[in-house]
Each structure stands twice: as C-alpha cells, then as structure tokens.
C-alpha cells in the first residue's frame, strides 16, 4: 500500500512539473518585453505625420495653439491638448514617444516608428472617391504599409534583422476605418449605404495584419471603433428635436452608436478567425467603444462626451467652419475635466483613462500579460521626464 501511495505521489509530482513547464513556456510565448512600437492608423495615433506631410502654406489645425498646450506646451501635430493613447502606452512600456516617420529629420526609429496619419482611411482613397466620398489625403492603410515595407532597409537593415524588429515590437493597428465612415456621414449619406463599407474595411484591416504576420509580427493591438453617436461633431450635425433618438443616460445618438457596435462586432469576429489561423500570434482587441463610453460615467469629466473643450457655438461648443486652432477659437480653462477636445478628438485626460483601461484592463481582449516584464519598467526616464507607475 505504501509503495502504491509512493507511485501515485511520483505521478502527481511528475504531472505538477510538466504542468509547470507548460505554464512557463506558455507564459513566455505570450508575454514579451517589447523593444519598440510600430504604429499604423489615423489621427487617433498620429504623433505628427500629417504635419510633416503638409505644405507650410496649408498646415493642419493641429499645427496651431491651443493644440499641445497641456503637456508639450506647444503644437506637435497631435490632435489633442497633449498626449495620445499611443504616448501613454509607450510610457508604460518604458519606451520613448513614438516618432512620426514623415517629416522627421535624422529621426531615431530604433525604439518605434509611427506611420499613422490624420484623415487616413482603411480603404484606398481612389475607391472612396469613386463612391463620391472626398478624401483630403491619399494615405490609406495600404499606402502606410507600402511605405513601411520600402523603409525597412533604413529602419533595420538586413531582412533577418527586420524580422526580429517586427517580431519584438508591439504593432498598433489603428484605430483605422473611422474616416471611411466619417466622410460619408459628414455628407449625410444613408446609413445602409455606409454599412456596406464595413465588411470591406474589416477585410482591409485583416489583410494588413496577415501581411505583417508574414513579416514576423507576433503581437498586435487592434482597436475597435468609437461610439460615433457620442461624437460632438455628429451630435451637432445630426441634432434633432426627437428625443427618442438619444440615449437618456448618455445623451448620445442611438443609431450612430449601434453602427459603431456593428463595426466593432464584425472586427472582433474577424480577429477571432485570425487567432485560429495564427495560434502563435497574440492578437489583442482594444475595446475603444466601451472604454470611451465609460468616460461619461467618470465624475471628473464634468461634460461627459457632450461638449468640446476647444470650440465655439451651439449646444456642443462646436462649429466645423470655426474649429479648434482657428483664429479666435479658445480652449476651456481646464481640459482635464472634458472628454472631447475639439469635437472630433479627445483630451489628454481622456486618452490617459483609455490607455489605463487597455494596459491595466478590462478593455484589452485578451488582456495583456505583463508577468515577464522587469520591475524597472515601472520607472523609466522618457523624453527627459521620469514617469512613475503604480506597482
């Protein structure tokens, strides 16, 4: 009987050790100490690309005060009063702010490179123009990927080195696709017409991820869409006296939010398909929709989503013809109490809350695994400032 107990005990020990070994291997495959950030997308992640691409006589509004006033104390090309979600993610990882690829003179891209451009679309601009949707700039997701591919010899040298760089990077795929819908919605196009674009947008994002997986990409953060019905710009454009069209708790337009949900649901389905095809790749969905809705319930934001800090006119402090950055248009005295910055983009405070919801949960699906990161990542000097994070 004693020998039988001993035999069972040995089996249990063996099972425990093998389980521990699998757990360790699994943890190592999922948790990575990212060496850089590679970013694609639109204005939500643009750290200065549109500014770098623009003619000096036709600069974007983000080139003028009060953009950048909160943190950088001058305009940087970011469409906010300060830092973006991507900036806070970089801080958390102990990496420098991700430099824009376009317009950078002798830029150092060793720790990250950003191809996101404000007003960029997922679909090719020529396709959207054929449908009558005007695109101000031809910097689609496909164009960004093409330029990334062409830049690899300068970014990382040999193909083997480039594969290592891409594999050790956190690849931020978006947010992208919102402008594909924004442009027709600004033209008051029918909802059913805009919904036809959704599967095309999702397919384009999926193809971009697949291409980068083939180049060695192992970790992707893929944001979903925002609740468009809470956008100050759309609340102004689609303002109605029919109160049934508004959510009584948020004040947002129900039909536009349902459209945002539809996009996000379709994107999540496609990401699930990609995960099954690529089990060795970590594809994380960033739930921008619910992370953004949550902001309206935070007591520190006095105006929820429904009034722009920087703007003029109307119930939502927004006028597209006199937008933030225009002469005579001023910002509120305390942007940290606002979700909306200029009617189309968020404040630094909102971005900080969104980023926290991604890196600390619960808005990253599946959640990030930071177990392998050293404690030193909690305290890192970034762009001359020492950033401290909670243990």
Positions marked active-site: 43, 342, 345
Sign for the pseudo-dihedral over CA of 43, 102, 93, 220: positive
Contact 135, 183 (CB under 8 A): yes
The three-state secondary structure class of 171 is: strand
| Count of residues in the chain | 391
Contact 221, 92 (CB under 8 A): no
The three-state secondary structure class of 296 is: coil
CB atoms within 10 A of CB 339: 28
Tokens (6 digits) for 206: 């999926």
The three-state secondary structure class of 303 is: coil
Look-up: residue for tokens 């360790």? 24
Q: Is residue 120 left, alpha or beta, with left meaning phi > 0 and alpha meaning psi from -120 to 50?
A: beta
Starting at the edge strand found earlier in the chain, the sheet holding 219-223 runs 112-114, 36-40, 169-173, 219-223, 282-286, 364-365
Distance, in Å, from the CA atom of 109 to the CA atom of 352, rounded to the nearest integer, reads 24
Helices marked H in 215-297? 232-237, 254-277, 288-295
CB atoms within 10 A of CB 176: 28
Contact 172, 45 (CB under 8 A): yes
Helices (H) and strands (E) in the chain, counts: 13, 8
Pairing assessment for the beta strands 379-382 and 219-223 based on DSSP bridges: unpaired
């Amino acid at each position: 009987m004693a020998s039988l107990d001993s035999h069972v005990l040995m089996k249990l020990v063996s099972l425990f050790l093998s389980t521990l070994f699998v757990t360790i291997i699994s943890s190592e495959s999922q948790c990575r100490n990212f060496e850089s950030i590679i970013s694609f997308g639109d204005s939500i992640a643009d750290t200065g690309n549109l500014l770098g691409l623009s003619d000096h006589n036709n600069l974007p509004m983000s080139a003028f005060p009060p953009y950048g006033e909160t943190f950088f104390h001058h305009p940087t090309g970011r469409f906010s009063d300060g830092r973006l979600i991507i900036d806070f993610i970089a801080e958390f990882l102990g990496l420098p702010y991700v430099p824009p690829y376009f317009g950078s003179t002798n830029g150092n891209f060793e720790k990250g490179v950003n191809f996101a451009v404000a007003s960029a679309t997922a679909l090719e601009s020529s396709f959207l123009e054929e449908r009558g949707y005007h695109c101000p700039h031809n910097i689609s997701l496909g164009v960004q990927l093409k330029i990334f591919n062409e830049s690899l010899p300068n970014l990382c040298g040999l193909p083997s080195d480039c594969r290592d760089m891409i594999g050790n990077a956190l690849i931020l795929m978006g947010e992208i696709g919102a402008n594909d819908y924004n442009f027709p919605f600004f033209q008051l196009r029918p909802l059913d017409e805009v919904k036809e674009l959704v599967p095309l947008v999702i397919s384009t994002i999926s193809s971009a991820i697949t291409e980068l997986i083939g180049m060695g990409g192992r970790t992707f953060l893929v944001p979903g869409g925002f609740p468009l019905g809470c956008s100050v710009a759309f609340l102004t454009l689609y303002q109605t006296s029919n109160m049934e069209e508004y959510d009584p708790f948020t004040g947002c337009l129900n039909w536009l939010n349902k459209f945002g949900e539809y996009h996000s649901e379709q994107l999540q389905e496609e990401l699930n398909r990609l995960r099954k095809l690529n089990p060795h790749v970590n594809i994380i969905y960033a739930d921008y929709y619910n992370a953004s809705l949550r902001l309206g319930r935070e007591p520190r934001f006095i105006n929820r989503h429904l009034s722009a800090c920087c703007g003029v006119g109307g119930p939502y402090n927004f006028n597209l013809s006199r937008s933030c950055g225009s002469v005579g248009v001023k910002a509120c005295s305390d942007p940290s109490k606002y979700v909306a910055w200029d009617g189309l983009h968020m404040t630094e405070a909102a971005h900080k809350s969104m980023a926290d919801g991604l890196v600390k949960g619960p808005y990253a699906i599946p959640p990030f695994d930071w177990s392998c990161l050293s404690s030193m990542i909690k305290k890192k000097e970034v762009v001359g400032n020492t950033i401290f994070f909670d243990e």
